[in-house]
Amino acid sequence: MSTRRVTVTECPGGPLLIRGADEVVGIDGTVAPVERAVVALCRCGRSDRLPWCDDSHRDRRRRKKP
Ligand code: FES
């Protein structure tokens, strides 16, 4: 059994940054292979590329401003 360090970093108002993972498993069991050293997981649900962040959360923040 190998030990591998995976870290999760919260970006305020944005995604979770995942470092060191091989795959991400959704709540429905869907497995998304991770092919980069760092990936961004959507937390806002607005991404067109779920589970990955596509920066759509930035549009939401802009609309909130007067
Ligand atoms: S957190 Fe970036 S698109 Fe959802």
**Average pLDDT of the residues in 20-26:** 92
- Which of 17, 41, 53, 61 most suits a substitution to test ligand 1, by most atoms within 8 Å of the C-beta? 53
Q: Is 35 helix (H, G, I), strand (E, B) or coil?
A: coil
How many CB atoms are closer than 10 A to CB 40? 20
| Contact indicator for 21, 34 with CB cutoff of 8 Å | yes
39-63 pLDDT, tens per residue? 999 999 999 999 999 999 998 655 5
Distance 3 CA to ligand 1 centre (A): 29
Of 13, 8, 45, 52, the residue nearest 30 (C-alpha):
52
| Ligand 1 first shell, C-beta below 6 A | 14-15, 42-44, 46-47, 53-57
Average pLDDT, rounded, for the chain: 88
Of 23, 56, 58, the residue nearest 39 (C-alpha):
23
Domain boundaries, the chain: 7-64
